[in-house]
Amino acid sequence: MGLDDRKLAVLRAIVEDYVATQEPVGSKALVERHQLGVSPATVRNDMAVLEEEGYIRQPHTSAGRVPTDRGYRLFVDRLSRVKPLSPAERRAIERFLVGAVDLDDVVHRTVRLLAQLTRQVAVVQYPSLARSKVRHLELVPISTTRLMVVMIADTGRVEQRLVELPAPVPADDVTDLRRLVNEKLVGCQLAETPPLVQALVEESAPHLRPAMTTLSTVLLETLVERHEERLALAGQANLTRGGLLDFQGSLRPILEALEEEVVLLKLIGETEPSTTRVLIGDENEFDNLRAASVVSTGYGPGSTIVGGLGVLGPTRMDYPGNIAMVRAVARYVGELLAQN
C-alpha cells in the first residue's frame, strides 16, 4: 500500500507533464523528460500501482495516464512546493495595484491582475460588511419622506439604500437622526450592530421614533442581512483556453455557476483559518463545478481577514503557481488596504 519515494516522483512527474502538455503521459515520455533513473518498464509497474490506488487513470486502454482528482490532491498536499514568483510577476503586481484610487478600483484591478497572472477565472470578494466597522453614516434627504442612507465602512466600502419614511421628517430632525446614529454606531462591527440599533430606537426622542424605527429596520435588513456581499469577476475568457478539452466539452455548467453569487461566495468566501484553500474537482460541493478546481485565500489589512479572493480553472491547472500568485496578490491587497 505504501507509496515509496519513486512512485511519488512518478506521480509528480505525471502531474507536471500533464498540466504542461494537456496530453495523457506515457512511461517512455516520462523517463525521457525526467531523471527518474529507471527504465520505462519500471515506471509502468509503478504506474500500475498508482492506478490501483486511484491516483491516476487511463482514458483509454492504449493511452497514457492522467491524474485523478485524488492524484492532484496528493500532489498539492505532499509533492509540490509553492512556486516563488518571478521578479517580473512581482513587478506586475506592484505596477497593477499602485495608483488605485478607491476600493472599487482596488477590487477591479485586483481581479483583473489575478486573471491575467494565473490565466484563470479570478474572483474577488469585496471586504465583507460583517467584518467591517462603521466609519460614518450619512443621511441625505431626497424628499421630506425619503432618505438616502450612505454607510461608509473602515474597509472603504460604501453602501447606500433609499429609505421610505412613514411620515415627513423636517431637516432638523434629519440632523438629529444623523448625529444619533453616528454617535452610537461609528466604530462598531456591523455584525454586532443589531442590539445597538435596537437600543437606538428606544433611546431616541418620541418625535424621532417612527423615523428611527424604519431607519433601523433598513440598516439591519440591508446592511447586515441582505445582499451585503459583493463580488468581482474577471478572466472568463480564460475558460476557453485549452480548447474544449477541459470541462469535457461544455462551458455551460461553469458559466452558470459563475453567475451565482452564492456559489462563488461559498467557494472563495473568507475562510476562518487564514490559510490558502485548494478545492480539487469534486471536492467542492457543486455539481456544476466537478470539473473545476478553486484556489482561494483570505485577505485583509495586517493579519485580519476581511474578504476572500481566488481563481477557478480546470482541475488540470498549475497548482503551485496559482497558489503562489493567489497568496502574493492577497498579501499585496492586504497591504494596500492597511494604508487606508
Partner DNA sequence: GACTGGCACTCGCTACAGTCGAGTGCCAGC
Partner DNA sequence: GCTGGCACTCGACTGTAGCGAGTGCCAGTC
Q: Which does 83 bind (CB under 5 to 8 A by kind): DNA, a copy of itself, none?
A: none
Q: How far is the CB of 290 from DNA (least distance, A)?
A: 22
Q: How far is the CB of 328 from a copy of itself (least distance, A)?
A: 23
Q: How far is the CB of 32 from DNA (least distance, A)?
A: 9
Q: Which does 21 bind (CB under 5 to 8 A by kind): DNA, a copy of itself, none?
A: none
Q: Is residue 263 within 8 Å of residue 256, measured between CB atoms?
A: no
CA nearest neighbour of 109 among 316, 176, 99: 99
CA nearest neighbour of 28 among 4, 64, 55: 64
Name residue 194's amino acid. P
Is residue 6 part of the contact set for DNA (CB under 7 A)? yes
Is residue 225 part of the contact set for a copy of itself (CB under 8 A)? no
What sections of 53-191 are H helices per DSSP?
A: 69-74, 87-97, 103-118, 171-185
Q: How far is the CB of 153 from a copy of itself (least distance, A)?
A: 11
Which of 45, 213 has the CB closer to a copy of itself?
Answer: 213
Name residue 26's amino acid. G
Candidates 168-176, 250-258, 270-278, 305-313: pick the segment binding a copy of itself (CB under 8 A). 250-258
Is residue 67 part of the contact set for DNA (CB under 7 A)? no
Candidates 17-25, 77-85, 150-158, 274-282: pick the segment binding a copy of itself (CB under 8 A). 150-158
Spatial neighbors of 103 by CB under 8 A, at least 6 apart, are 126, 127, 155, 156, 157, 158
Residue 84 CA: distances (Å) to CA of 18, 106, 115, 321: 21, 24, 18, 8
Q: Is residue 312 within 8 Å of residue 322, measured between CB atoms?
A: no
Is residue 65 part of the contact set for DNA (CB under 7 A)? yes
Is residue 228 part of the contact set for a copy of itself (CB under 8 A)? no
Is residue 256 part of the contact set for a copy of itself (CB under 8 A)? yes
From 51, 89, 138, 228, residue interacting with a copy of itself (rule: CB under 8 A): 138
CA nearest neighbour of 161 among 83, 228, 208, 74: 228
Is residue 283 part of the contact set for a copy of itself (CB under 8 A)? no
- Beta carbons within 10 angstroms of residue 79's beta carbon: 18
Q: Which does 39 bind (CB under 5 to 8 A by kind): DNA, a copy of itself, none?
A: DNA
From 10, 15, 47, 337, residue interacting with DNA (rule: CB under 7 A): 47
Which of 61, 303 has the CB closer to DNA?
Answer: 61
Q: Is residue 28 within 8 Å of residue 74, measured between CB atoms?
A: no
Is residue 5 part of the contact set for a copy of itself (CB under 8 A)? no
Is residue 201 part of the contact set for DNA (CB under 7 A)? no
Torsion of CA 199, 205, 209, 211, to 10 degrees: -110
Is residue 37 part of the contact set for DNA (CB under 7 A)? yes
Which of 1, 101 has the CB closer to a copy of itself?
Answer: 101
CA distance 69 to 208: 60
CA nearest neighbour of 57 among 13, 17, 16, 24: 24
User: The dihedral of CA 254, 260, 263, 264: what is its sign?
Assistant: positive
Residue 272 CA: distances (Å) to CA of 131, 188, 268, 303: 12, 20, 11, 12
Binding residues for a copy of itself (CB under 8 A): 101-102, 105, 135-136, 138, 140, 142, 148, 150, 152, 156, 158, 160-162, 222, 227, 234-237, 239-240, 244, 250-252, 255-256, 258-259, 340
Binding residues for DNA (CB under 7 A): 6, 24-29, 37-42, 44-45, 47-48, 51, 58, 60-65
